[in-house]
Structure 1
Amino acid sequence: MDPFADVLTANAEYARTFVDDGRPGVAGVGLAVITCMDSRISPLDMLGLVKGDAKILRNAGARVTDDTLRTLVLAHYLLGVDRVLLLAHTDCGMTKNTDGDVHAKVLAQGVDSRSIDFRTIADQRATLVTDVQRIRSWPFLPPAMPVAGGIYDVRSGAIEMVVPADAAAEAPSRD
């Protein structure tokens, strides 16, 4: 049995009625959203966006990794991104474990993962502040690019802004 039969069947139905709307691959509203891979999060829906509006980057814990920064450089210079929103979320598994906990759980399944830094989160708010600053100070991105950080509540759907956009970095007008 094909382990992907369910999603490929669903895709066949999707493709049957799919109409290419001709959108380019740029971020229509100039936004990049970095969020967690948690399947309870629907970034476009929770921000009132539609397909083509934003570049969505996802990883465990919504962490700003070297690959996230690399992707933001491409998104800014090639794909129309001129502002970044970093969104952590409540009830995140990365806040409930240490790297040691994760390594032990993986080792219990027969794999030694100690060479991996899982970037678990001891203090979500402090981590969010640090990761926003990491983007703001990345030398390959414009220093005035607006970057903000918040926490999405998976139970209420609301976002609490923790790190507002830098006052010196104002979003360009979209008129």
Structure 2
Amino acid sequence: MSTTPPFDEAGADLFIESVMRGNARWMSRYRGSPTVNGSAKAVVLTCMDSRIPPLEMLGLEPGEVFIIRNAGNAVTPDSLRSLLICLTVMECRKVLVVGHSRCGMRSSGDLDERVSEAVDQRALESHLGAEIGDLSRWLGFHDRSEEDWAISQARELGRLLPRVMPGQKVRVYAALYDLDDGRLEMLLPSVPEQEDDHIAHDQHEK
């Protein structure tokens, strides 16, 4: 049975001190913010895993892409909210869903148990104003491979976006980032909105 570690007051203070020192170093070499409107090439939906450096792994600079991150690079109401703003207000037309190797959101009995112990589901449901059912599933834990999960999220967007943005052409791609060697593998070259599910699947199989 897992236990939640005690809160480290001293460690928290040291973290903030480290962050502020790091910000001072950043300010010393900061050259200003790039223009946002019209400069971003695409939207990247990827995992919140701290081992993933989105800009570096894509060879991009700040301002060249919008980045949406959550646990498991999942299409959720909140990630969709951010995505729609990028696609409409900021006029991006390309979406790249990036999964990664050794993702912690693949179902794990230990992780599920730790979450269940730490979270008061009734309090959470009261805050949300709705029942969430199975907590593990609501959080996004799943039992699919990282490749299949990234593809499934790209396919979901490929089917959803034409319905919520009729008449707007958006390209959706899926890729997998390898934490061991830094390689980005394209899983689906493209999932255009006019493609149905079996065509997207056929592309992956080729």
TM-score, normalisation: structure 2: 0.70
Map residues 5-154 of structure 1 onto 2, 5 A cutoff.
5-21=17-33, 23-26=34-37, 28-97=39-108, 101-108=110-117, 110-113=118-121, 115=132, 116=135, 117-124=138-145, 125-138=147-160, 139-141=163-165, 144-154=169-179
Offset of residue 143 of structure 1: 5.3
Partner Cα separation in structure 1 for residue 67 and residue 192 of structure 2: 24
Offset of residue 13 of structure 1: 2.8
Partner Cα separation in structure 1 for residue 23 and residue 102 of structure 2: 31
Is the radius of gyration larger for structure 1 or structure 2? 2
Pair 1:48–1:107, CA change in 2 (3 A): same
Partner Cα separation in structure 2 for residue 105 and residue 77 of structure 1: 39
| Long gaps (5+) in structure 2 | 1-9, 123-131, 195-206
Q: Describe the SS at the equivalent of 1:34.
A: strand
Pair 1:119–1:156, CA change in 2 (3 A): same
Aligned length: 165
| Long gaps (5+) in structure 1 | 170-175
Residue 160 of structure 1 corresponds to: 185
Deviations 1:98-126, CA, capped at 9 Å, x for gaps: 6xx53421344x43348541111211333
Deviations 1:105-151, CA, capped at 9 Å, x for gaps: 1344x433485411112113333232112212222336531101111
The alignment yields a C-alpha RMSD, in angstroms, of 2.4
Partner Cα separation in structure 2 for residue 164 and residue 11 of structure 1: 38
Identity %: 29
Offset of residue 29 of structure 1: 4.3
Offset of residue 168 of structure 1: 7.0
Deviations 1:74-103, CA, capped at 9 Å, x for gaps: 0011123110000000011112526xx534
Q: Describe the SS at the equivalent of 2:95.
A: strand
Q: Is the 8 A contact 1:27 1:54 kept in 2?
A: no
Partner Cα separation in structure 2 for residue 144 and residue 78 of structure 1: 15
Pair 1:143–1:80, CA change in 2 (3 A): closer
Q: Answer 1 or 2: which has greater helix percent.
A: 2
Pair 1:121–1:42, CA change in 2 (3 A): same
